[in-house]
A and B are shown apart, each in its own frame.
Chain A
Amino acid sequence: MSLDPTITQPAPVLHPEVIGDRFEGAKDAEGRPLVHAEGTSKPIRARTPHEPQPRGARDRGNRPVDQIEAAERFIAATEHEKAHDERLWDMRLRRDKAAHALPEWEDMRALASQIKEHALANLDTYLGQFEAAAKANGVVVHWAADAAEHNRIVHQLLKDRGAKSLIKSKSMLTDECGFRAYMAGVGIEVIETDLGERIQQLDHEEPAHVIGPAIHKTREDVAEVFARTLGSDPTDTDIPHLASVQREATRPLILKADAGMTGCNFAVAETGTVVVCTNEGNADLSANTPPLHIASIGIEKIIPRFEHLAVFLRLLARNAIGTPMTQYTSHFRAPRAGAELHYVIVDNGRSERLGLKEFWTSLKCIRCGACMNTCPVYRRSGGLSYGATYSGPIGIILDPTLNRRKYSSLPFSSTLNGSCTNVCPVKINIHEQIFAWRKVMSEEHRLPFVKSEMMKVLGYVLARPALYRAALGAADEALRLLPHFVLANSLNTWTNKGRDMPEAPTQTFHGWWREHRGQTRKSP
C-alpha cells in the first residue's frame, strides 16, 4: 500500500530489462491473463538464454554455511538474479492485493497466531486427541522421534508390502528428513510428482523455496535438466511443452506406483483429518491411486477444530500466492475402502524447540513462503544459498535448531528490516528471533574470530569517551591523508564491492560543538 493516496499507477519496475513483451501463461475466456497458482502478473524472463544456473552454497560438511559466497555468485548471474527478484516481488505485491482486499485481514492474523499458540501450549493433549480419532477411523499411526526413525518406519512399511516405487507430493518435512537420499540408498524409487520438486529431484538440488521449489531456474535450465534425465529436446524451451514433458513422463509412474506419500499442511485434532493443499492435484493422485497412502506429519501441524482450519486456509493461499484458495484442498480422514492409510507423526527436534523461550513461536509456521518473497536478501541470494532445507527468514530461525554449528552463520544474512514479521500470517516475530539467534551464536562463541574481536575492540573504545575521541581524530586524519588506493584494497570491503569511501568532513559534530558553543558541559 502506498503512503501517497494519489498513486494509482503502477510504479516502474526495478529490472525492466527482464520484463517480457507478451504474457505467456493461461488466459481466461476473454483473453485476459490469469494469475493463480504460482503465476506472475507480468511476463518476466531472463534475456540471456544461456547464462548458467548459479548453484547453491558449497558443501563444507558440518562447517558453517558460507551464504555470502553463494549470494555473490547468484548476484553475478545477473539474468537469474533479476528475474528471481522481480518474480518474487511480484508475488509479494499479489499477496498484498489479495490480503488487503479482506477488511478482517489483520484480525485473522491475530486469530491464527492465537490458535497456533494455544495448540502448541497444549500440544500433547491435541496430539493424543488426533491419534485417538485417527485410530478410530482405521488409520494406522506411527511415531518418529527423528528423521532417521521417520525414514526407517516408511521403509519398513514399503518393505513389508514388497513396494518398490513410491510417488509423493511436496513435503518440506520429508526434505528435512533427507528422505529421498535414504530411499535411494535402500533401492526404492521415489518419484516427486510436484513439477518444481521433480525438477529439483532430477537435478539433484534441494528445493529453493517452499512454494516454488525451482523458482530460481529459467526455462533453459529446466529444458537442460529434462534433456539430461528424460531425453527431451534441450532446445525446446516452451513452458507448456516442458510441463507436458513432465506430465507425460510421470503419469505412467503414478499409475504403476506401489505406494503414495503426502505431507500435511494441517492436522485437525477433532477428527484425525490430514489436510493437504496443492495446485496440481498431485497429492490427490499420490494418495488415491496406489493401495497405500502414507502421510508425514510434523507435530506442530496440529490445530484443534475445523472452524480453526477455515481461518488458516483463508490466510494461506492469499499470503502465499495471492488467491483465495489453492486449486486443491484435500482432507484425508480414513482409508479408502480396500486401501490403507498410515500417519507418521514426526518430532525431529520440534519438542525441544517448544521449550526455547525465545524461539518456540517459530513452530507456528504454516509454510506459506511469504517471508521469502518479501525478504530483500533472499530475493537477491536465492534459496539455495542458505544450504539448508528451509531458507530465507524462516530458515534462518529454524535451521540453527536442526544444526547449531552448520547454520551459525545464517542469522547474519539479514538486515533486520522486519518486513518478514509483517507478512507472516501467524505473526511470528521473525526478525526479532533472528536478532535473538545472533546473541546465542555470540554467547556460544560461534562468531568468526575477526568479527568477535572487532566487537570487543569497539565495545572497549565506545565505553571510553576520551579514547573514542582520539580514535575518531586519528581516523579522520587517515581518511583525509591516505591516498585512495591504500583504502580501496581487498581488506577494505567497503570499497571493493562497488562503493566509494565517504568523504571525511573536516570536523566532527563534537568538534563543531566545542568550537561554536564553547561549552564543555558534562552530563548532570
Chain B
Amino acid sequence: MSGREDILARVHRNRPAGDYALPLIPHFDIPGTEQGRLETFSRALEAMGGRFRRSSEMSSPLAWIRENIPNARIICSAVPEVPSDREWSAVRKPQDLADVDVAVVRAVLGVAESGSVLFTEAELKVNTLAYLAQHLVVLLDEGAIVPGLQDAYTHPVFRSARYAVFHTGPSATADIEGVLIHGAQGVRSLTVIADG
C-alpha cells in the first residue's frame, strides 16, 4: 500500500498554510416555488427537452403511451400502475433490456428548479432500464416536487442507495457543430406524468 501512504504523506506535507474555514451554506430560494411548484417544474423540464403531462388529462398512462408512442412494441414497466410486456423474472442481466421500446418508472422526487427527476436502483429495478429503452415515461407524485437542488440533497436516499441519478430531459448532445439532437446514447424522449 505504499502508493497510498506516499500520496497522503505528500498531500499532508504540501498542504497550504493558513486558515481555510469551511463556509456556512445559506439556503437560496427558488423563484416560483413559494406556492405550487408544478408550473416551475414543467417549464424547466420542457426547456430541457422533456415532455410534461398530468395524469388527469389521460385515461391511463398506458393509454397515453399507446397513443403517443404508437410504434412501441415492448413496454417494460417498473410500476404497478402500468402492465409490463417484459416479465421481470426473465431479466437476468442488464443487457436483457436492450430491446425495450418504452420504460415506465416512478421518480423518488422532482426538482422544480431544473425540471429534474430522481431515481435509484429501487425505482429502476435494473439500472439500465432508464438507458437502454428508447423512450422513458416517468410517474411523479406532484407532492414529491422539491423547490431546488439544495432541498433534493437532504433526501436520505443519497446515503442509502447504491446508485442515484437525476434525469433532466432526454439524452442529448450538441457535440457536432452545436446542433442539438435528442437520443444521443440514451432515451430519445422523456415524459413526466404528474399524478398524486
* Interface residues, chain A, with chain B CB atoms under 8 Å away: 24-26, 28-29, 34-40, 43-45, 83, 87, 90, 102, 104, 107-108, 110-111, 114-115, 117-118, 120-124, 127-128, 137, 143-145, 149, 193-196, 199, 212-215, 217-219, 222, 239-240, 242-244, 247, 250-251, 254-256, 271, 273, 279-282, 284-285, 288-290, 299, 304, 306-311, 313-314, 323-337, 345, 347, 351-352, 354-355, 357, 360
Contact = CB atoms under 8 A, between A and B. Distances in A.
Nearest to A218: B177
A345 B158 CA distance: 22
A107 B26 CA distance: 10
B184 A87 contact: no
A194 B165 CA distance: 18
A239 B181 contact: yes
Contacts of A117: 16, 20
A354 B95 contact: no
A280 B172 CA distance: 5
Given A284-B131, A288-B127, A327-B170, A240 B175 contact: no
Given A124-B12, A327-B170, A329-B116, A299 B7 contact: yes
Nearest to A273: B158
Given A39-B174, A307-B153, A352 B183 contact: no
Contacts of B47: 28, 34, 36, 323
Contacts of B72: none
A359 to B, nearest CB: 11
A214 B131 contact: no
B60 interface: no
A304 B168 contact: no
Interface of B: 1, 3-4, 6-8, 10-16, 18, 20-23, 25-26, 28, 44, 46-49, 51, 94-95, 98, 113-116, 121, 127-128, 130-132, 148-150, 152-154, 158-159, 161-187
Contact of A280 (B1, B8, B173, B178): B173
Contacts, number: 298
Contact of A247 (B158, B168, B185): B185
A306 B21 contact: no
A37 B13 contact: no
A32 B97 CA distance: 33
Contacts of B176: 195-196, 199, 214, 217, 219, 222, 239, 242-243
Contact of B180 (A36, A306, A313, A331): A36
21 contacts: A26-B182, A29-B51, A34-B49, A44-B178, A114-B23, A145-B7, A193-B185, A195-B184, A196-B173, A199-B176, A243-B175, A251-B98, A256-B95, A285-B131, A324-B113, A331-B163, A337-B162, A347-B10, A351-B7, A355-B13, A360-B16
A298 B99 CA distance: 36
B94 A36 contact: no
Contacts of A43: 179
Given A255-B98, A355-B13, A26 B163 contact: no
Contact of A281 (B4, B152, B164, B187): B187
A279 B114 contact: no
Given A104-B28, A279-B184, A323 B163 contact: no
A77 B15 CA distance: 46
B25 to A, nearest CB: 5
Contacts of B95: 255-256, 289
Contacts of B121: 336-337
B153 A306 contact: yes
A242 to B, nearest CB: 6
A299 B11 CA distance: 9
Contacts of B127: 284, 288, 336
Nearest to A280: B184
A255 B159 CA distance: 30
B22 A115 contact: yes
A195 B175 contact: yes
A310 B150 contact: yes
B25 A333 contact: no
Contact of B49 (A26, A144, A328): A26
Contacts of A289: 94-95, 128, 131-132
A328 B20 contact: no
Nearest to B15: A121
Given A26-B181, A345-B7, A354-B11, 9 more contacts: A36-B180, A44-B178, A120-B15, A195-B176, A217-B177, A281-B131, A324-B44, A333-B163, A351-B11
A334 B163 CA distance: 7
B124 to A, nearest CB: 9
A122 B15 contact: yes
B46 A128 contact: no
Given A325-B166, A327-B171, A355-B14, A304 B22 contact: yes
